Structure 1
Amino acid sequence: MTRNCLVVPRDKKYTDRLREREREREREREREREREREREREREREREKERERERERERERERERERERERENERERGEREREREREREREREREREKRRERRERRERERETTSRDAH
């Protein structure tokens, strides 16, 4: 006979023992289900921690990208400022050159005027 077959009980003690064993098996199955649920909750907590660590790594990568963009912007600003300074220096040089040319022209005119006066 199989375990699941109903057997006509011989006496009440036998029936009680069968029922008790079945209740014990059911309690054990329930404890096992509870242990499995707890293991699953633990796995879920671990997955959540890993997701949080990944989010933190992503935030750190984003902060690093932002710092890199800021450094690049700073380099570009510095380069633009240096270019403006070079342009101002070229402009000052052009002004000095114009003044020098005007001075030389005035000197030549004075020489010419002074020669004409003689």
Structure 2
Amino acid sequence: MVEVMRRGEVWLARLNPNTGAEAGKVRPVLILLDDALLSTGMSPVLCIPLTSKLFKNLDSLRIEITPRGRLLKPCYAMPEQARALDRNRLGEGPLATLTLKEMAQIERVFLACCGMADFLKPIH
């Protein structure tokens, strides 16, 4: 069982079983849940899966994450694939921690995917 995690960290997660176009297999995920909720041990944990593949028709939704820490190759956040995962699905981590600027970019696209923000508004 996962003990300590923080918003903005990247952890490995088991996403199978998946259905249809859902992201599957063991892959890195970005922890999106607020630290205050994480500290209570709340489960499930809101996460955004990462992928190493960039498809042209989805590139406006993808945010690149460069290698750092134990995240060894470039990957892309998939905000439209956000899902709640039981803590038992989360394994090794943290692999890396994102910057505040990266988190702001991901939050903007995530909110736009949810219909809660305008994609074109500048980040300050």
- Interval of TM-score (by shorter of Structure 1 and Structure 2): under 0.3
Higher relative contact order (Cα pairs below 8 Å, separated by 6+ residues): 2
Higher strand share: 2
The higher radius of gyration belongs to 1
TM-score normalised to structure 1 length:
0.15
Higher helix share: 1
